[in-house]
Structure 1
Amino acid sequence: MRLLGYADRLSVPAGGRIEFKIGCELPEFTPSLVRLRRGGSPVHECDLLEDDVLDDEVAAQLPATVPGRVQVSRAGSCVEAAVRGDAVVHGAGLAAWIHPTLLEGEQTVLALTAPDGSAGYRLAVTADGCALRDAGGTELARLDAAPVLRQWSFVAATVSPAGEVRLELHRPGGGIGGASADVAGAPSWRGGQLRIGAGGRGEPTGFFNGRLARPVVSGSGWAAEATARLAAGAAAVEVLGADGVSALALGRDPASASVADDGSLTAGGTAVNRPASAVPGPFWSCTETDLRRVPDEYDALHLHEDDLDDAGWETDVALRVPADLPSGAYALKVRAGEHVDRIPFVVTPPAGARPAPVLVVLPTWTYLAYANWRTYAEFEEERVGLYGERRGVDPRDRWLARHPELGKSLYDVHTDGSGVMYSSRARPIVNIRPDYFTPTTRGLRHFAQDLSLLHWLDGRGEDYAVITDDELEDRGADALAGHRVVITGSHPEYSSARMLDAYESFTAHGGRLMYLGGNGFYHVTNRHSGPSGAVEIRRARGSTTAWASGAGEEHLSGTGEPGGLWRWRGRAPQRAFGVGMTAQGFDKASGYRRSAQSRAVDWVFDGVDVAVGEVFGDEGPGLGGAAGDEIDRADIALGTPADAVVLATSIGHSASIVLVADDRTISHRAPVSPDPRVRADIVVFDRPGGGAVFAVGSIAWSTAMTHKGGDNDVSRITANVLDRFRDHAGPAVGA
């Protein structure tokens, strides 16, 4: 891809400012603003629809052409700190506890460098041993004893002013290796830079993969007995004092990128590219898994060579969105010859605007969870077995597989095999595009699919506004207040407690909610402060998951709260939304059979020629039906209100539609086949306070709404509910 970009945010209020960062290998590109009406492309079953925004205010801000330039992303996490300018370095001491998770090549544990890079020391490890090098890379000492993979070791190197070098490795079980050497005196300098987990004079290099704790650096070295005390667990300032010593407290504030220094050598450091925090250190007692109760035991960071929080690209185009621009989905469209990219964003209503009758909440945290998911190209053959057919791969995924520097999704693992816990918007994300092809559904999913919902609303002439998960997190219940109907996107899987509270408050105060998706409100999620807008999860065991968090690592670093599924915290989706995740499979979707209960709310089926016991929604684009992809069931035991009406239940799922691990247990009873829990339920119910909820229990629903241009039963049922919820103030059930 020779033209690619990203915005500094995924949404902006009308009247607000948004910036775009563009990487272009061609001499120039042309920007324009478009409103996205429908997702699609020549390889989808529908075409992309977009309207040029012909606004004088926009035209005045967008240049006719912009010079192209290559912008580079640099992955890899470390901690950086500036050595105080008045601090003298003459000799050095460098030590840290390390828990390597990948020992390929030479990896830097600690680096101390003079301001001009002419002098310094770098402590490094390999699969074969440890080494201390000077700033030019010359080996000063080598120890042919390596740290143990995935176990804690203590490594230390000292250089006296006279040039006496000592290198030690303390391994599990009490094994100690040591080496010594003499060099021709130690250089002296003032100031400089300290790096933890990386070296390099300019951009960081030689990244360490693994946990690292209790780093100690001094500007003058220390005695051998001090090394022994540090290796026994003594605090650095207790052993060495604070003067001329750095003891960066890596785990003290796991939610922050700032790292305090208990010594005086630096004024504190900064974590680069968000290494994993809230992970236990070398002296974790294994008696407590909540870092808030034993913070001193959570004193490590997990560093990775492929961490990426902020690509750091420069701004090429800035836009002040007109205050009267209608709320909706837009994109900065950039073109250079035959190369085109559309960088999407949502325009939300300005502060103080009259609430539209209908509000759509696009699940941008789910978009970020899947951002730059690498499985399609990297595991293409394995996915053929999953689908039962070859569905093709978007060319952007093949390009992405060649560019690891753009970061990964929350479904991927790092090069060391550990799970990716954070996903940021501050980078190019190739699969949040209106024309992106998703093999899972033979075309549309996530953002591109949710554009179909907006297109459907446009076709009905609805007065609606659009916000994202970010506005819901920022404003809570106030973000929904005043709107009569709130509609979710197709896959609102990742949500915070504040977001759940907002939905519950909305329906408790008379609001009507239409949950038009599946696998929603499933994973405990947090958003970190800062410009990258990174979201965080931990994947607890006992769920259908791409990876599992390590021992003691199931609490979010941003809030300290337990991660995993909301279900295990007593907030299963059924409580607020009537249905919750039950199964998934991607071979084909099914239809729904109308229930006898539905007679109590017969208005839902007005104009729908489907009697009780008959099937509807068994055709459509993508997977071929309305009940598919990931599906939800009603379950009173998990919180579905007892008065909820199950309007219809899906039928005919294949053996490829698999029950989630949350519900699978070992039993001596013979299994029932097919499992009755593998189903999608459509429910409607009232809430105390005058609110109501309608939920369809399937990601595939809104795609099926587009079948035959919207002339189908799934579309008519959705329209009936929207009209009733918007215009009828009485109860939904039995009214």
Structure 2
Amino acid sequence: MRLLGYADRLSVPAGGRVAVHVSSEHPEVGVSLVRLRRGGSPRHHVELVEESVASDLPTTVPGRVQRTTSGSFAEAQLRARLPDVGCALWFRPTAPTDEQRPLLVVGSLGLWCSADALELRDGDDVLARLEAHAVRGRWAFAAATVDAAGRVRLTLHRPGLPDEAVETTAAPVTVSERLLLGSDGVVRPGPGATFDGGVARPVVSRSWGPEVTEALRCGADPLALLDAGSTSALDLAADPGGVRVPDRGALTGGAAVHHLPTRGVPGPFWTGAERDFRPAPAEFDALHLHEDDLADAGWDVDATWTVPTDLPSGVYAVRLTAGDDVDRVPVVVTPARHGASVLLVLPTWTYLAYANWRTYAEYETERLGLYGEDRGIDERDRWLAAHPEFGRSLYDVHSDGSGVCYSTRRRPIVNIRPDYYTPTTCGFRHYAQDLLLLDWLERRGEHYAVVTDDEVEQQGTALLDRYRVVLTGGHPEYCSAGMLDSYAAYTATGGRLMYLGGNGFYQVTARHPGVPDALEIRRGHAGVATWVSDPGEEHLSATGEPGGLWRMRGRAPNRLVGVGFTAQGFDRGHGYRRSARSAEPDVSWVFDGVKAGVGEVVGADGPGLGGAAADEFDRADIGLGTPPDAAVLGSSVGHSHKIGLAPEEIDHGYAAPPPGVHPNVRADLVLFGLPGGGAVFSVGSIGWSTAMSHDGGDNDVARITGTVLDRFRDHDGPVAP
């Protein structure tokens, strides 16, 4: 891609400011502001609709290529010069390379490792080398000393294998300036030449004897062996949700932790007695570093937009143009005043979870089997596959095979674009799909406001309670405990919630306290997942809470919205067969203007996969928390064996599953009320809002949605059983 950009935020209140970062191979870039009315492209067979908006943005900015270097590491400044040096640490390589990678560098002196050897280097000079290596995935201990006379000793301990040591001589070494963990401090565009793997218990001090090396290997406190004033003993277990670690010694003032290495993970002395780092922090004292970790792309600012205080809430984009290249950097403007009665919450935490998902290009051949056809990919994904430095999604694994558990918005994100093509659904999903819902609201003249998951997480019921009706986007999968609490409190006190999607309120998620632009998950060992958490890594470093599914913590989505994730598949969409319950007087109004009667199917058509029941499905289940009096108005029918149950839905025990398509493979249309006048309407499928756009919006899916919205907004009495 010759032109791309990102903003420093995904949402901004009217009156706020947005910084825009641009990289271009063109000499000049045009800049303008547009309001996005509908997502699409010729490939989607739906036209993208945008309108120009006046702004204080510059009309052009000079073009220049901006580079990003990924890779996590820790950095501390030395408070004193050391005329002789000792250094040690535990390390666990997860992707050994033929070239040497830095483990611990202090001043010019460093411990480096490769797949074949361990070296002690002074700059480019190798002072000592062991033709031995740590075992991939296993902890090892390395130590090196250079005394005032230039005597050098390098030691490698690998549990279960013979110890290795070498002694040489060299010119004396004096170190100063900084200490680096996992990096040599050289900035190289692209994936960082950093160490991939775990590091723990780093120690730097004056030179010491072999007996100190042995004691450190056995877990002794370095400050009981060495002078604290000239020793660094970084406490990597402290504040795993932060971006600094303290130094228990006085040689540094603590270290900054860069680019979000995985934290709250077991170190070399983990006993397995605890899986939560909070009761035993000393056992969870490792950083897992990755060459493709990223917290911030680090580009310079090219333009700043000051949002007018009277700008209507909506979805906007900073439009960048150069030659034939166009990029639209998304920005949601949240309301300055809350005069609307309807609020749409865009699921930006889910957008970030999928941000720069690389599977389409990296596994294009494998997906032919999943789809049964060649659906092609968005060409931006091919570019993304060649640029691992721009970070991965929470569905990817790092280059060393470990799961990605942090995702940041401070980077170019190619799949949060109004014209992005998603092969999974033959077109629309996530951001581009949710713009179809905005288009529907606009077409019916609805007075609405738009916010994102960030505002719900930050403002809670103080925000939601200002609106008569709250709508979700198509896939609000990722959410925090506070967000669940806010939605539940909103409906319990009279709010009306329309859950217009599928696989929502599913995955335990938290904002990273040290890097508020980033989210964190831990997959755990349940649910549909492309990776699972390693032992002892199930708890979020941000909050300490267990990750995985809310369902496994007794908070299944059924308790909030009446339905919960049950199945997924991507062959084609289908419609919903009306239930007998849907014709009873207290709920039959939902189908006003719909010709299909009881037992007949609605919503069988639509763009993309076709049909309102498509992609991922939610069903009602009283055992999981669906209110007993909830009305199931319809259930999807016609699904094939290509639609698979979610792992947590698969039957256990000796009994054989029922023949044919499993009865739990379905999307349920559900309506229920709560004491105090609150109500919930849930559609049970990601595909619902895409189907609303069928035939220019003149279809039963859109008609049902509009009828429910009108009743929820305008009727003061109970609107649901």
Place the TM-score, normalised by the shorter chain, in its bin.
over 0.9
Residues 338-392 of structure 1 deviation map (CA, whole Å, 9 limit, x = unaligned): 1110000100012xx1341000000000000000000001100110110011001
Q: Is there any run of 5+ residues in structure 1 with no aligned partner, and where?
A: 114-119
Q: How does 1:287-686 map to 2 (within 5 A)?
A: 287-350=273-336, 353-530=337-514, 533-600=517-584, 601-672=587-658, 673-686=660-673
The CA distance in 2 between the partners of 1:689 and 1:210, in whole Å, is 54
Comparing 206-215 and 716-725, the one that deviates more: 206-215
Question: Given the alignment of the two structures, is residue 170 of structure 1 paired with residue 170 of structure 2, yes or no?
Answer: no
Q: Is there any run of 5+ residues in structure 2 with no aligned partner, and where?
A: none
The CA distance in 1 between the partners of 2:193 and 2:609, in whole Å, is 46
Aligned counterpart, 2:210: 224
The CA distance in 2 between the partners of 1:343 and 1:511, in whole Å, is 33
Question: Given the alignment of the two structures, is residue 717 of structure 1 paired with residue 704 of structure 2, yes or no?
Answer: yes
Q: How does 1:53-452 map to 2 (within 5 A)?
A: 53=53, 55=54, 58=55, 61-84=56-79, 87-104=80-97, 105-113=99-107, 120-135=108-123, 137-173=124-160, 175-184=162-171, 186-188=172-174, 191-201=176-186, 206-218=193-205, 220-350=206-336, 353-452=337-436
Contact 1:34 1:330 in 2 (8 A): yes
The CA distance in 1 between the partners of 2:561 and 2:225, in whole Å, is 57
The CA distance in 1 between the partners of 2:702 and 2:508, in whole Å, is 31
Question: Given the alignment of the two structures, is residue 19 of structure 1 paired with residue 7 of structure 2, yes or no?
Answer: no
The CA distance in 1 between the partners of 2:239 and 2:248, in whole Å, is 13
The CA distance in 2 between the partners of 1:384 and 1:203, in whole Å, is 36
Paired-residue identity, %: 59
Indicate the SS of the match to 1:474: helix
Contact 1:426 1:532 in 2 (8 A): no
Shift, 1:200, TM fit = 3.7
Question: Given the alignment of the two structures, is residue 704 of structure 1 paired with residue 699 of structure 2, yes or no?
Answer: no
Contact 2:101 2:114 in 1 (8 A): yes
Contact 1:625 1:704 in 2 (8 A): yes
Contact 1:684 1:732 in 2 (8 A): no
The CA distance in 2 between the partners of 1:567 and 1:482, in whole Å, is 29
The CA distance in 2 between the partners of 1:687 and 1:201, in whole Å, is 60
Residues 608-661 of structure 1 deviation map (CA, whole Å, 9 limit, x = unaligned): 001000001111101010001000000000000001000000001011100000
TM-score by length of 1: 0.96
Paired amino acid for 1:100: P
Indicate the SS of the match to 2:43: coil
Paired amino acid for 2:678: G
The CA distance in 1 between the partners of 2:184 and 2:499, in whole Å, is 49
Contact 1:359 1:485 in 2 (8 A): yes
The CA distance in 1 between the partners of 2:139 and 2:252, in whole Å, is 26
Shift, 1:687, TM fit = 1.0
Contact 1:425 1:532 in 2 (8 A): no
Residues 187, 670 of structure 1: alpha-carbon distance in 2 compared, 3 angstrom cutoff: closer
Comparing 470-479 and 559-568, the one that deviates more: 470-479
The CA distance in 2 between the partners of 1:199 and 1:417, in whole Å, is 23
The CA distance in 2 between the partners of 1:24 and 1:680, in whole Å, is 45
The CA distance in 2 between the partners of 1:714 and 1:562, in whole Å, is 38
The CA distance in 1 between the partners of 2:559 and 2:515, in whole Å, is 34
Indicate the SS of the match to 1:179: strand
TM-score by length of 2: 0.98
Paired amino acid for 2:401: G
Shift, 1:580, TM fit = 0.4
Shift, 1:88, TM fit = 1.7
Residues 135-185 of structure 1 deviation map (CA, whole Å, 9 limit, x = unaligned): 1x111000112111111111111111111110001111263110111013x
The CA distance in 1 between the partners of 2:362 and 2:289, in whole Å, is 23
Shift, 1:201, TM fit = 4.6
The CA distance in 1 between the partners of 2:89 and 2:460, in whole Å, is 43
Aligned counterpart, 1:32: 32
The CA distance in 2 between the partners of 1:706 and 1:64, in whole Å, is 34
Paired amino acid for 2:179: L
The CA distance in 2 between the partners of 1:99 and 1:355, in whole Å, is 56
The count of residues paired between Structure 1 and Structure 2 equals 715
Shift, 1:555, TM fit = 0.3
The CA distance in 1 between the partners of 2:37 and 2:214, in whole Å, is 67
Shift, 1:296, TM fit = 1.2
Residues 508-558 of structure 1 deviation map (CA, whole Å, 9 limit, x = unaligned): 110000000000000000011356510000011132211000001000000
Contact 1:585 1:629 in 2 (8 A): yes
The CA distance in 1 between the partners of 2:628 and 2:265, in whole Å, is 41
Shift, 1:477, TM fit = 1.3
Indicate the SS of the match to 1:483: coil
